[in-house]
Amino acid sequence: MGIFLILIVAIACNDSKTNTGDNGKNYESKIDSIINIMTLEEKAGQMVQYTSGWDVTGPVIDDNYEEYIASGRVGSIFNAHTSAYNRNLQKIAVEETRLGIPLIFGYDVIHGYKTIFPISLGESASWDLDAMERSARIAAEEASAAGLHWTFAPMIDISFEPRWGRVSEGAGEDTYFVSQVAKARVKGFQGEDLMALNTLAACAKHFAAYGAPQAGRDYHTVDMSERVLRDVYLPPFKAAIDAGVRTFMTSFNEYDGVPATGSEFLFQQILREEWGFDGFVVTDYTAINEMIEHGVAKDLEGASELAINAGIDMDMQGGAYLNHLIELVDSGKVKESQLDEAVRRILRIKFELGLFDDPYRYSNEEREKETIMKDEFIEAARDIARKSIVLLKNDNNTLPISESKIKNIALVGPLSSTKEVLGSWHASGDYEKAVSLKEGLENNLPANIKLAQTEGTGFDTDDESGFAAAKRIAAQSDVIIMALGESEHMGGEAASRTSIEIPGNQMKLFNELKATGKPIVAVLMNSRPLAISELDNKADAILETWFLGTEAGNAIADVIFGEYNPSAKLPVTFPRSLGQVPIHYNMKNTGRPIDHDEKYTSKYIDSPNDPLYPFGYGLSYTSFDYSDLSLNSKKITKDDELKVSVKVENTGEVDGEEVVQLYIQDLVGSVTRPVKELKGFKKLMIKAGQTETVDFTITEKDLRFYTKNMDFASEPGEFKVYVGGNSEDVMEVLFTLE
């Protein structure tokens, strides 16, 4: 470690009175001691981040990162991992620079590091917050054992945009739901204590409104009112702060004419002044530079000035701060104290991670070997994957498949044997270790069932040369399983589509197989809601399996053979067609709500208004009946708690889990309110034939929104409470807030 730093930190550590703050973790005077001896160059250096050559997730505009580390001009490296590799980079920072300030290593550990869990949208379909926390916890255990300190997750952008490939990275369309998921994932990554060796600092991204790009095109312009921003898009970020998230990432889009990375409104006013956030903010990849293309800065110096004035602490990959902060201070355009504040926030997290105690503490090869892909992690990956599978249709109990009825299965489709089931942003995930659908079915095949498999076609092709083989095995089967959808590369960043249909000739093959008269189970893999009306009409059963990660094939087999009774529900609406987009359950009513007998009402002439599958929808191998929805009172005051209770009966033959959902509607407001808003949910196991009573509590706080005057408040009046197993099939009851 650099000689000066050792001295300073040692002095500060002995100064116990000034250094013990909240929970003994107040590092402020130590940070002061360091900032006091830093040169301007060293300060700017802490605010610079570069990708290593190990992995690259965007354009490379400068790859001299080792040289920059050695000269103290870099504070963080991303896309570098494994204990050994990161130890070597850390050594350069600690041993070759004057102050020896350790680097913080970041990486996109989004849904797993080596053991890969379902893509975030898919995992959210489990509605199981404990499971989501657990998968983030495991991801952190593995990544922190592989030399990493910080993950660029959770991604908590609300989105109603199926064209946008990144809808796969979030938790869907609902503000309340995404806020709960944000908390679970932050808790999972960060654990109880960042100082623990098995935790990562989390990063709430992308701030803000990135999920609303015009026309669904990635990085495109966003235009929305402040009311919508605050009511719909911001709450998950506030929830992440409440859960203790330590960093934020800017978004690529503009908000109200200002690119987020230069937005004083978003970062100074909302994040720091209103929310009091004391962690640090990193830009998205080259987002400072992109302000030139956005047209708000004429050169990189001007863009850097906008970013530092907005309170952006670290420049990811752009070289903007590296090359321009010093001249900005020298010319008086930026105050050195602004750099001090940014450096303070960055050093604070480095202290919290224990990097000043031991910069190599996350680089232990032994621990790495013992931790990566432990059996218990693989078991958890299988369990969470099967919890994420949504049963969309199941006519005539086609599923589960059992030996008593089925002797031969034909498995076809472009996703039937591929190991590319990890999904976008799969970090260091290993395709070799991924379980394909074919492998999963073979691993779990009941003794008397035979399986034949052929692809039949590709993802996006008009080549029909494989059709004959597919039809041949289909003709000899009792049931066809067709694995269809998108390739994993059709989702994630920079993967927007203008069509949300199943691509290529997959549906043509489906129709030819349908002509055999055999029942067809469609196994969908995809990163976004797809328009699958035709499939819904014709398939006997449909499983939405997203991209389920390492254990995908085994998890799908568990559902297909009835080892697991599906319990997942859609966290996002599935439209009938792209023409309905944006479509989400919590829309406004309009002044002319749909009326089929009245021409001049809000509807289409060529499609119903309602979606194919609503938010919260998903079937089970059993059925549930809702009854006796009741309230403890018809009226509440601002200080009361309203108790809502409902009975849910499992009316089928097998045990099953149900996600009981509670929505409210504010009937009259000073501004229009959504037709429904999720305010609570509970997932519970109900044994066959049993009835459970499910209780919820609503308080005045749950009824707040941005009123006409932009106060965040509730308004007296009537509200409806809806309870059901999805956002459409609900019971309702009325109450009044006095």
**Binds ligand BGC (CB under 6 A): choice among 50, 117, 152, 706:** 152
285 lies in the binding site for ligand BGC (CB under 6 A): yes
User: Residues 198-237: x/- map of binding to ligand BGC (CB under 6 A)?
Assistant: -------x--------------------------------
Whether 313 and 307 have beta carbons less than 8 Å apart is answered as no
Min dist CB 196 to ligand BGC, Å, is 23
189 lies in the binding site for ligand BGC (CB under 6 A): no
722 lies in the binding site for ligand BGC (CB under 6 A): no
624 lies in the binding site for ligand BGC (CB under 6 A): no
**Binds ligand BGC (CB under 6 A): choice among 2, 58, 244, 582:** 58
50 lies in the binding site for ligand BGC (CB under 6 A): no
Backbone angles phi, psi at 207, to 5 degrees: -90, 110
Nearer to ligand BGC, 154 or 614 (CB): 154
**Binds ligand BGC (CB under 6 A): choice among 42, 108, 352, 700:** 108
In this structure, what DSSP letter does residue 126 have? T
Backbone angles phi, psi at 392, to 5 degrees: -90, -25
**Binds ligand BGC (CB under 6 A): choice among 157, 284, 352, 658:** 284
Min dist CB 183 to ligand BGC, Å, is 20
Give catalytic status of residue 22 as yes or no.
no
User: Residues 68-107: x/- map of binding to ligand BGC (CB under 6 A)?
Assistant: ----------------------------------------
Task: Provide the token pair at 297.
Answer: 């800065």
Helix 336-352 and helix 300-310, axial crossing angle in degrees, nearest 10 = 60
Min dist CB 440 to ligand BGC, Å, is 30
3-state secondary structure of 439: helix
Q: Which of 128, 231, 284, 666 is catalytic?
A: 284
Min dist CB 79 to ligand BGC, Å, is 7
Min dist CB 10 to ligand BGC, Å, is 35
**Binds ligand BGC (CB under 6 A): choice among 161, 488, 493, 551:** 493
Which of 471, 491, 211, 194 lies closest to 349, judged by CA? 194
157 lies in the binding site for ligand BGC (CB under 6 A): no
Nearer to ligand BGC, 202 or 619 (CB): 202
351 lies in the binding site for ligand BGC (CB under 6 A): no
DSSP string for 263-330:
-HIIIIIIIIIIT---SEEE-STTTTTHHHHHTS-SSHHHHHHHHHHHT--BEES--HHHHHHHHHHH
3-state secondary structure of 95: helix
3-state secondary structure of 216: helix
Nearer to ligand BGC, 206 or 471 (CB): 206
Which of 98, 106, 77, 101 lies closest to 89, judged by CA? 77
Whether 445 and 451 have beta carbons less than 8 Å apart is answered as yes
717 lies in the binding site for ligand BGC (CB under 6 A): no
Work out the number of other CB atoms within 10 angstroms of the CB of residue 224. Answer: 14
Nearer to ligand BGC, 49 or 567 (CB): 49
Q: Give the nearest residue (CB) to ligand BGC.
A: 57
Q: Report how far residue 212's alpha carbon sits from residue 723's, in angstroms, rounded to the nearest whole number.
A: 29
Which of 228, 234, 241 lies closest to 279, judged by CA? 241
Q: Report how far residue 479's alpha carbon sits from residue 481's, in angstroms, rounded to the nearest whole number.
A: 7
Whether 552 and 124 have beta carbons less than 8 Å apart is answered as no
254 lies in the binding site for ligand BGC (CB under 6 A): no
Residues found near ligand BGC in the complex (CB under 6 A)? 57-58, 108, 152, 205, 284-285, 493
Residues designated as active site: 284
